[in-house]
Amino acid sequence: MALPRTYKSVHLARRPTDHITPDIFTVKQDQTSTITALKDGEVLFSPSHLSLDPAMRGWLNDSRSYIPPVKIGAVMRGAGVGSIVASKSSKFRKGEKVYASCGWTELSVLKDNEVEKLELPPNGRITDALGALGMPGLTAYFGILDVGKVKAGDFVVVSGAAGATGSVVGQIAKLKGATVLGLAGSDSKCTWLVNELGFDQALNYKDPSFKQNFRSATKQLIDVYFDNVGGEILDMALSRAKEHARFVMCGGISQYNTKDVQGPKNYLMIVSMRIRMEGFIVFDYAKQYPEAKRQLAQWMAEGKIKRQETILKGGVERLPEALQMLFQGGNTGKLMVEVAAGEEEPRAML
């Protein structure tokens, strides 16, 4: 198939001060001919799907973090799955499906060491490389197993439970013999967690009686709390921690849009209950990714890990509004944008 004459990319136009609005990004169009002369070891990549991740909100702030901020004017950072459309590398052939940190663009020139081959189970889809078998799945795997050290008999509470990471956390904890309570933002998400994914219980944190419901659901006290949201829910989990509980600090999405970050008021529970509260960044486990990917793929092949995807159709122009959706709970499971219609079966298209 011939390449289109032009291609589009989404660039950061200005930094947000609090909530993301689509006008912080701008869409630009360039001539394809300007990037098609590849050097040795390079490939031309065209994504079919681009990933939306809460961490992107942090990459827009000009502050010190585990990764430098996206520069004003630059193509927005992000990962995608799709096809090699031209290759001057012996490692990849034209037509091959791959994963790449390509940015929010329809076409990019990448070095072959920036591109990864996909290893999927028989029931896998290429989009799984962005979700349950990709970064969110790996975050769940290392977070609950290595940081949380989950074991049979533990009582585990997961916030952000119906998202890409949380949904896998709860399923791994169940596989290890734990009892799992998930917290999510709607009744339908809670029903999915219990009926489809096998969580023992799920609570809607937007329900007016959430505080009472949480107290009665955590009577046995918490062994492992996997935190994706921070804020008031973290405080509530601290108040119900068992002695020597492990708090896995994965993220705090409720605080990403504010400069006035709410720290835990109940932090003295860390002392009295001898809690181990530990943050982690999945990239630190890069050397162990192959082993974790194999295990996650096996669990998926055996039907022990299920996933859902929320996919926005309509191309790169929809990426800014999709990023906003993460902060409004518009997704169940992994959120992504379909950049180019492919052969994948459509699922939960919006």
Ligand X SMILES: NC(=O)c1ccc[n+]([C@@H]2O[C@H](COP(=O)([O-])OP(=O)(O)OC[C@H]3O[C@@H](n4cnc5c(N)ncnc54)[C@H](OP(=O)(O)O)[C@@H]3O)[C@@H](O)[C@H]2O)c1
253 binds ligand X (CB under 6 A): yes
| C-alpha to C-alpha distance for 338 and 245, rounded to whole angstroms | 41
Cβ atoms of 5 and 87 closer than 8 Å? no
Q: Residues 46, 108, 139, 308: which binds ligand X (CB under 6 A)?
A: 139
Binding mask 262-301 for ligand X (x = CB under 6 A): ------------------xxx-------------------
Binding mask 209-238 for ligand X (x = CB under 6 A): -------------------xx---------
Place of tokens 């630190």: 284
Q: Which of 25, 13, 6 is nearest to 106 (CA)?
A: 6
Nearest distance from C-beta of residue 51 to ligand X, angstroms:
8
Q: Which two tokens stand for residue 243?
A: 């002695």
Q: Which two tokens stand for residue 147?
A: 């940081």
164 binds ligand X (CB under 6 A): yes
Q: Which of 164, 229, 245 is nearest to 197 (CA)?
A: 164
Residue ranges of E strands in 108-191: 108-111, 115-117, 155-158, 179-184
Q: Residues 186, 213, 239, 295: which binds ligand X (CB under 6 A)?
A: 186
Q: Which is closer to ligand X, CB of 158 or CB of 316? A: 158
Q: Name 29's Cβ contacts closer than 8 Å, sequence gap at least 6.
A: 6, 7, 8
| C-alpha to C-alpha distance for 304 and 174, rounded to whole angstroms | 10
Q: Residues 250, 296, 300, 323: which binds ligand X (CB under 6 A)?
A: 250
| C-alpha to C-alpha distance for 165 and 12, rounded to whole angstroms | 26
Q: Which is closer to ligand X, CB of 89 or CB of 159? A: 159
Q: Which is closer to ligand X, CB of 82 or CB of 185? A: 185
Q: Residues 78, 134, 136, 182: which binds ligand X (CB under 6 A)?
A: 136
Q: Which residues bind ligand X (CB under 6 A)?
A: 53-55, 135-136, 139, 160, 162-166, 184-186, 189, 228-229, 250-254, 280-282, 326-327, 329, 331, 335
